[in-house]
């Protein structure tokens, strides 16, 4: 299982903090890998809609999390506003932040014209 977390938004844009973070069960200790799977299942991740919550009217500097889980042939991605995170989803986000490794970010840079 491979879980990718990309954080955007917040009070400023920091290129170093915007890089995706990946928690890959192949590279984690067995007990950590088991916990990752528990959290994905606990959040019912594959049953979540692609967009979880929207920013309230007039809100600013909120964070948004883009989470993608790849598990064998199953791939699912969501975008969630931080204030709309359920407790299980927040636990998954926190876990990936704590145990994931930064990956090169190929989304930064000019949009092709």
Partner 1 sequence: MRNADRSGYAIHCILPPHILRNIAKKGTDKQRDMALRTLALDTTSRTNRVTHALLRSAGRRPIVDVMIPKVQRTIYSAAEGTELPGSVLRSEGQGRVSDPSVDEAYDGLKATFDFYAEFFHRNSIDDNGLHLNATVHYDHDYDNAFWNGEQMIFGDGDGTLFNRFTIALDVIAHELTHGVTASEANLTYLGQSGALNESVSDVFGSLVKQYSATPRQSVATADWSIGKGLLKNPNSALRSMNKPGTAYSDPVLGTDPQPDHMSKYVRTYEDNGGVHINSGIPNRAFFEVASALGGYAWERAGRIWYGTLRDKSLRPHASFASFARHTAAIAQTLYGTGSAEHKAVQDGWGKVGIEIH
Task: Name the residues that contact partner 1, by CB under 8 A.
Answer: 8-18, 55-63, 83, 85, 90, 107-111, 113
Among 110, 86, 104, CA closest to 16: 104
Q: Looking at residue 106, what DSSP letter applies? A: S
- Tokens representing 86 are 């359920």
**Residue 93 buriedness (CB in 10 A; 0-12 / 13-18 / 19+):** buried
CB of 28 to partner 1, least distance (A): 21
Q: Which is nearer to partner 1, 26 or 111 (CB)?
A: 111
Q: Which is nearer to partner 1, 15 or 72 (CB)?
A: 15
Q: Which is nearer to partner 1, 1 or 66 (CB)?
A: 66
């Amino acid at each position: 299982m491979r879980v990718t977390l990309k954080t955007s938004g917040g009070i400023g844009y920091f290129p170093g903090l915007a890089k995706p973070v990946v928690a890959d069960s192949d590279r984690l200790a067995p007990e950590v890998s088991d916990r990752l799977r528990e959290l994905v299942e606990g959040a019912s991740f594959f049953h979540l809609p692609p967009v979880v919550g929207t920013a309230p009217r007039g809100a600013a500097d909120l964070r948004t999390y883009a989470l993608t889980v790849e598990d064998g042939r199953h791939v699912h991605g969501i975008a969630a506003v931080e204030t709309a995170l359920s407790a299980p989803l927040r636990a998954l986000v926190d876990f990936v932040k704590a145990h994931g490794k930064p990956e090169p970010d190929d989304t930064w840079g000019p949009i092709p014209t």
